[in-house]
Structure 1
Amino acid sequence: MKTILLVLNGPNMANTIAFGCYLSGITRARLVGVFLCDKISETTTALKEMYGNSYVESILAEDLPERTNERMEQHIGLFKETCRKKGINATMYSNQRVTLKEVLAESRFVDLIVTDSIFSSDKSREGLPDNMLKILLAGAECPVLITPFKPTPIEEIVFCYDGSEEAFFAMKQLVYLLPELDEVKATVLEVNSGQIIEENEQLQVSDWLSRHYSYTEFVIVNGKPEVELFSYLAPKKNTLVVMGAYGRSILSRFFQESKADKLIKQLAFPLFITHH
């Protein structure tokens, strides 16, 4: 991996920067910081061009240039100082905030996007998982890694596997982007909702994974994927979770469930998401 795009804006910015530095440190990848527009008017402008929606732009006191510039300088200072202290090779994408549309365009030319689970500190937008995050996950042309509320070193990787091409593609993406994690435990998690993956395929997946990790395990749990995924993952710590096929299959339903709100908003582990 050569370039990580660190998309910043939410209230957990300091921890997100710290986790971006952690990944950059273990991979030696260049870390590029970008600050996202968080106002609904700015966000809707990007969505308007994508979906044809109309919008009404409003100007708030905190949107005035002097307030915006002051906050931006503080955020840039935090990013640069954190990277300097940790000895990370980091640059700024821009000295100004950018739209979601610009981030999606840039995703084609980077290896990984790292971002927070909450894009805005605006309390009036609390509730469902951040719509901007959903759009980023669906539209990004590279994998996206959602940082936890309190980042910790990775000691286990859980690959959520349903037998689909998308799920195995996500496994490959993680393995090839982060080969430095080869010493951690690798767990393949299958949720059996009535159609279990054949034993031969389980062996093939385990064999392939064992070539990349020192210790692997194939775990099968029974029940509904949306329920059992949360039950299995919720207590995990020091764990990186890998999922594929965003917008389809398990993950699509997963984000529609109320439990997903809790999992995303109180994320206790990094979540790696990509689509085929």
Structure 2
Amino acid sequence: MIKIVAVFDGLKFSEATLHHAIKMVKNQNAHLVGLFLEDFTYQSFSKYRAIAKDKLSEKEIAALEQQDADLRKESRRLFEDVCKREGIEFSLHKEANVAYPALIHESIYADLVIIDQAETFTPYTEDRPTQFIKDFLSATECPVLLVRDTEEINAAALLFDGSPNSVFAIKQFSYVIRSASEMPVEVITVKEGDESLHLPDNKLMKEFMKRHFPHANFNVLKGNVADVEIIEHVKQGDGKSLVVLGAYKRGFVSRWFKESLADALMRNVSNPLFIAHSK
């Protein structure tokens, strides 16, 4: 049995995270943890503005704080009600400390973290990728599934450049998401200039894939900028394919997988992402 942690902001509850977490748990033998990061520094309103600009009284500020507490409680209740209705094994963690280190700590003891791409854990919205997501991806201790909407995942696109990190991500995907073997799988590689159209480590990679995804298709794209070719290829799909990639870790340099690829995907496509990096 694996442990899946679904991350929630109780003030901006993500239906996408809940939907995909329930789906993942029901498709395999897994225990679901609902992690509610109730950062004591974070409210739905600016306390500075409430005091300095809006001149709210202590009683009025206390009322706003109570509204936040009630909304967070309602979000936890919603999670519990859905889990009970779906008949899955679950537990709930409520964390009142600062969100980022609390999440990193939880990821040490998780097989997979599911989180919405738009999470900020601030009162504000940000363009994707948000700073919180970028920071988390650079330090997570387990694979991460980044979701965006409640569309069903119907296929997987495995990004492969021959680097250990790209293979590691594919391994983690096959180990953690058991239903992956039942969906159409495409292996995507980019070759530049006059390079051969063979996969890097062609024989070894195909031997490996035969054991995990025997019906996978292999697609070698030609282009001078790998990131651009990948994004354009993914855009041609229906947005429901899960893109699997490695090497988000800061400072890591490979031939064409790098930190900015995940960022570019989040900016330009609507697909969910599965990210895992070896350390």
Q: State whether residues 107 and 113 of structure 1, in contact with CA within 8 Å, keep that contact through their aligned partners in structure 2.
A: yes
Deviations 1:79-114 (A, max 9, x none): 112212222211101275762101101111111100
Task: Point out the more displaced range, 181-190 or 244-253.
Answer: 244-253
For residues 27 and 19 of structure 1, the distance between their equivalents in structure 2, rounded to whole angstroms, comes to 13
**Match of 1:243, as an amino acid?**
L
Look up the match of 1:134.
Answer: 134
For residues 75 and 237 of structure 2, the distance between their equivalents in structure 1, rounded to whole angstroms, comes to 31
Q: How much has 1:11 moved relative to structure 2?
A: 4.6
**Match of 2:33, as an amino acid?**
V
How many percent identity over aligned positions?
25
From the superposition, tell whether residues 70 and 226 of structure 1 become closer, same or farther in structure 2 (CA, over 3 Å).
same
Structure ID, larger Rg: 2
Look up the match of 1:79.
Answer: 79
For residues 127 and 212 of structure 1, the distance between their equivalents in structure 2, rounded to whole angstroms, comes to 36
How does 1:114-193 map onto structure 2 within 5 Å?
A: 114-120=114-120, 124-152=124-152, 154-193=153-192
Q: How much has 1:28 moved relative to structure 2?
A: 2.0
Q: State whether residues 144 and 274 of structure 1, in contact with CA within 8 Å, keep that contact through their aligned partners in structure 2.
A: yes
Q: How much has 1:38 moved relative to structure 2?
A: 6.9
The answer to whether 1:25 aligns with 2:34 is no
Look up the match of 1:234.
Answer: 235
Deviations 1:195-244 (A, max 9, x none): 55755722321221121224111101122122111111123343221100
Deviations 1:103-150 (A, max 9, x none): 101111111100000114868442351100011111110001101323
The answer to whether 1:245 aligns with 2:247 is yes
Look up the match of 1:34.
Answer: 35
Q: State whether residues 107 and 140 of structure 1, in contact with CA within 8 Å, keep that contact through their aligned partners in structure 2.
A: yes
Look up the match of 1:270.
Answer: 272
Q: How much has 1:273 moved relative to structure 2?
A: 0.2
Within the candidate set 257, 267, 273, 1:261 is matched to 267
What is the SS of the residue equivalent to 1:118? coil
Structure 2 unaligned segments of length 5 or more: list them. 51-60
Q: How much has 1:162 moved relative to structure 2?
A: 0.9
From the superposition, tell whether residues 58 and 163 of structure 1 become closer, same or farther in structure 2 (CA, over 3 Å).
farther
Q: State whether residues 247 and 258 of structure 2, in contact with CA within 8 Å, keep that contact through their aligned partners in structure 1.
A: yes
**Match of 2:268, as an amino acid?**
K
Structure 1 unaligned segments of length 5 or more: list them. 44-56
Q: How many residues align?
A: 257
From the superposition, tell whether residues 96 and 28 of structure 1 become closer, same or farther in structure 2 (CA, over 3 Å).
farther
If each structure's helix is expressed as a fraction of its own residues, which one has the higher value? Answer: 1
Deviations 1:13-72 (A, max 9, x none): 112101100001111210001123579x559xxxxxxxxxxxxx9585599531221111
